[in-house]
Amino acid sequence: MSAVDPEPVPSLDDALEGEAVLGVYRQMFAALARDGGAVVDDPELVDVAETLLAAFADAGEDGLSREQMRYVCRRYPAEVFENRLRVLKGLGAVREVFPKPNQLRYRASFTSVVGLMFVRRMMLDGGQSEMHRLLALEQLNVADPRMTPAQARAGAEGLARAFRLWSVELLTLTNGTIEELREQAPKLWGADEILAGAERLHGAILRRWPELDRTCTELRAALYAYGDASRRAAARLSDSAGLTRNLTLLPPETWRTFARTASRDELAAVLDGFVFDAPAPWHEPSAVVAAVADAPRAVPVRPAPPRPSGPDPGLADRADAGTADADRLREVAEQALRGRDRADVADLLDGDWPAARRLLADLSSAHLHPALPYRLVWGDGLAARPGAAPSWVSPGVFERTDR
Amino acid sequence: MSDEWAPGILARARARVTGAVSVPAAEPVPPGLAAVPDGPRTWLLPSWPDGATPAVLEQYELAPMPLDRSGQARRVLAAALRCCWANLDDAPWPGVPAPVPAVLDVYAGMTRGDAALAGRWATGELRRLADTGWLVLDEARGVVRTGPRTALWPHEALGPLRDLLRRMPGPSREALGDE
C-alpha cells in the first residue's frame, strides 16, 4: 500500500488540525463522558452537567466560581460533583476564564450545550425527529445558491448511510422477537413522511447537479431499502397487534384519525370475532355431580373403618342373589313354551332376525342356567330356507326337564 | 329487509340475545327451538341437533363456554335441585317451588367457612343461574324453582345426579320454618 500511496509524514500542522477536531468532539460529548475515556453509566450524571451548563448560561460573561458551581449542584453528592467537574474540565466543556494558574472563575463551552441539546432530542425519539430536521436542512441547503456539488454529494452520502443503517436495524427487529419490535415501535412512526421528504430532496439534488447521479442512485437504493424494511416491520407489528390489543403501537393521533375517518364497515371490522350475545353456560348433570364431589368439605373425610382380617364371604350366599335374572329367563321360557312341554326352535324363531336372535340368546341362557329346568336339544342336519329369516336352521327342540 | 329472514333465524337470534323467553302456549314454535311447556306458557330454548348437548364440545376437544367459578355455580344448582326436585323418579322439570332460604341452607351445609358469606355468594349464583334459564327465581316471593333448561337434560344422563341428590342432606327445619 505504501508503494502506491506513500504514507505522508505527519506534520505539526496535521497534528494541530487533528487536535482541533478532537477538541470539538470532546466538548460535544463532555456531558456524556464518565471519565476521560468512557461514557456515563448513570443518567443522573448527565443531569449534573445540564444543571451546571444552565447555571453558566445564567451567570453571563463573568462565569462561575467553584463555590457557586457547588452551590448550584447542591442536590448532588460532593464526590459526584467533583468527579463531574474534573471530567468536564478535562474535556474542555468547562474551562478557566483566563488560562493561568490558580484561576477561580470558570466559563462553559457553547459546543457542549449544543451537543447536550442534540443528545436530549435524540433520546426523545431515537433520532427520528433528527432525521426530519436533517432532511429539512438539506432541502434548504440544496436551494441555497452558495451550495457546491461536493457539499451536496457529502450530504447525500451521509443520508444514504443513515437510511442504510436504519433499514438494517429495522430488518434486525423484524426478524427478532416481537416484544423487542414493540418496544422500538416509535421508530416506525411517520416513515412515509420521512420517505417523501427524502425523495423530494433526492429529486432536488438530481435536478440541480445532474453529474451527481451516481450518489443519487445510492441514495435512492437506500431509500427503497428503508421503505421495504419499515413496511415489513409494520406488517409484523400489525399482525401481532390484533393479538395483543396494545394500543400504544401506533401514536394516539393515528387512532383518533382512524376513528374519525373510517367507514362504518371498517369500524365494525375491529370487533370481528367478538361474540356479545354469548350463549348460556351449560351445566351437564355429570358436571354438577363432579362439582359437588369437589366441594371444599365442611368436615374432613373420615378414614374407612378397619376391615376384619379374615376372608370376606361376600354377598354370594344371600338368598335373593341373582333371582331377578332367573325370573326373567323363566318368564321368557314359559312364554316360548306356552304351556307345552316342548317346542320346536324353528317355530319359535319365526319372525325377523333381530327379535329372533334375542330370543335365541335368552333360550340359550335358560339352557345354561343351573337353577332353571329347561334345555335345548339340537339334532343333526341343516335346513336351508332361502328368503326366510333365519335363512338356515338346525332341527332343535326347547323343552322342560322337570317332568 | 326483515321479512327476508326466516322466523327460525329471528327466533334463534332473539333467544341468544335475551336468553330463555316464554311465549303463550298457543303460539307456534319456530323450527330449531325446543319448546318446554310451563302451564299456560311455553319456554323457547335453543336446542342442539340430534339430541346432542353442549357436552359434545368436550369430545371434539373444543373449549366450552367460559364460566367464572363454575364449581360454585354448579353446587348452588345442585342445592336448588335438592329442594325443588321433589320426586326424584320424575323429571327435574317443572319441579316444585322452594323457599330461597332453604336452598341457601343446603348450600351452606355443602361448603365450609362463613355461612353468611356463602349465602351472599350463593345469592349471586342464584341470580346468574336464573338469568341463564337454569332456575326460575321469584325474588319478590322469595321462592326458586328449577328452570326450563333442565328439561333439556337427556334422561339417561340423570342417574348419577339422582344418586347424588338422594345422598345430599336436605334443608334444616329452621330454614324451612323461616318463611
Place of cell 349464583: B125
Q: What gap in Å lies between CA A143 and CA A169, rounded to an integer?
A: 31
Chain B residues whose beta carbon lies within 8 Å of the beta carbon of residue A292: 74-75, 78, 110, 164, 168
Average pLDDT on A188-201 reads 81
Give me the pLDDT at residue B81, please.
Answer: 92
Chain B interface includes A280 (CB < 8 A): yes
pLDDT-based confidence at B80, cuts 50/70/90?
Answer: very high
Q: CB-side exposure of A135: number of CA atoms within 13 Å?
A: 23
For residue A387, pLDDT over 60 is answered with yes
Give me the pLDDT at residue A6, please.
Answer: 52
Helix (H, G, I), strand (E, B) or coil at A153: helix
A–B CB contacts, 8 A cutoff, strictly below: 83
Give how far A193 is from chain B: nearest CA, Å. 46
Residues near A55 by beta carbon (within 8 Å), at least 6 away in sequence: A64, A68, A69, A72
Give me the pLDDT at residue B123, please.
Answer: 92
Chain A residues whose beta carbon lies within 8 Å of the beta carbon of residue B74: 283, 287-288, 290-292
Chain B residues whose beta carbon lies within 8 Å of the beta carbon of residue A301: none
Nearest to A282 among B20, B53, B81 (CB): B53
From A253-257, A274-278, B75-79, B172-176, the region with the lowest mean pLDDT: A274-278
CATH of B70-178, one of 1.10.3120, 3.30.519, 1.10.10, 1.10.3470: 1.10.10
Nearest to B164 among A281, A292, A296 (CB): A292
Q: What percent of chain A has pLDDT over 70?
A: 76
Residue boundaries of the structural domains of chain A: 12-120, 126-260, 323-400
Q: Please spell the DSSP secondary structure of A37-94, one letter per residue.
A: TEE-SSHHHHHHHHHHHHHHHHHGGG-EEHHHHHHHTTTS-HHHHHHHHHHHHHHTSE
Give me the pLDDT at residue A364, please.
Answer: 92
Nearest to A295 among B55, B111, B132 (CB): B111
Chain B interface includes A295 (CB < 8 A): yes
Give how far B162 is from chain A: nearest CA, Å. 9
Chain B residues whose beta carbon lies within 8 Å of the beta carbon of residue A298: 109-112
B78 → chain A, closest CA residue: A288
The CATH architecture one would assign to domain A12-120 is Orthogonal Bundle (1.10)
**Per-residue cell: A104:** 477561580
Q: Do B113 and A296 touch (CB under 8 A)?
A: yes
Place of cell 475515556: A37
For residue B32, pLDDT over 80 is answered with no
Q: Closest Cα partner for B91 from B45, B51, B150, B165?
A: B150
Chain B interface includes A274 (CB < 8 A): no
Q: Do B65 and A282 touch (CB under 8 A)?
A: yes
Q: Which residues pair with B46 in a beta bridge?
A: B33
Q: Do B71 and A282 touch (CB under 8 A)?
A: no
Query: pTM for the complete prediction?
Result: 0.39
Decide: B84 and B144 in contact? Cβ < 8 Å: yes
Give me the pLDDT at residue A152, please.
Answer: 85
Q: What gap in Å lies between CA B103 and CA B107, rounded to an integer?
A: 6
Residues 8-47 on B with a CB inside 8 Å of A are 13, 16-17, 19-20, 46
Give how far A271 is from chain B: nearest CA, Å. 17
More confident site: A31 or A327: A327
Chain A residues whose beta carbon lies within 8 Å of the beta carbon of residue B64: 281-282
Q: What gap in Å lies between CA A3 and CA A18, rounded to an integer?
A: 25
Assign residue B91 a region (left: φ > 0; alpha: ψ between -120 and 50; beta: otherwise): beta
Place of cell 494558574: A101
Q: Do B54 and A282 touch (CB under 8 A)?
A: yes
Average pLDDT on B38-65 reads 77
Q: Do B65 and A279 touch (CB under 8 A)?
A: yes
Chain A residues whose beta carbon lies within 8 Å of the beta carbon of residue B134: 280, 283
Computed from CA positions of residues B53, B58, B60, B64, in that sequence, does the dihedral angle turn out positive or negative? positive
For residue A314, pLDDT over 70 is answered with no
Chain A interface includes B78 (CB < 8 A): yes
pLDDT, one tens digit per residue, over A322-372 is 567 888 888 888 888 888 888 888 888 877 888 888 889 999 999 998 888
Residues forming CATH 1.10.10 domain(s) in chain B: 70-178
Decide: A285 and B93 in contact? Cβ < 8 Å: no
For residue A33, pLDDT over 70 is answered with no
More confident site: A99 or B155: B155
B12 → chain A, closest CA residue: A279
Chain B interface includes A297 (CB < 8 A): yes
**Per-residue cell: B138:** 321469584
- Please give the backbone phi and psi of residue A97, each rounded to the nearest 5 degrees, phi first: -65, -45
Give me the pLDDT at residue B179, please.
Answer: 44
**Per-residue cell: A61:** 460573561
Q: Please spell the DSSP secondary structure of A190-211, one letter per residue.
A: THHHHHHHHHHHHHHHHHH-GG
Interface test with B, best of A286, A292, A299, A301 (most B CBs within 10 A): A292
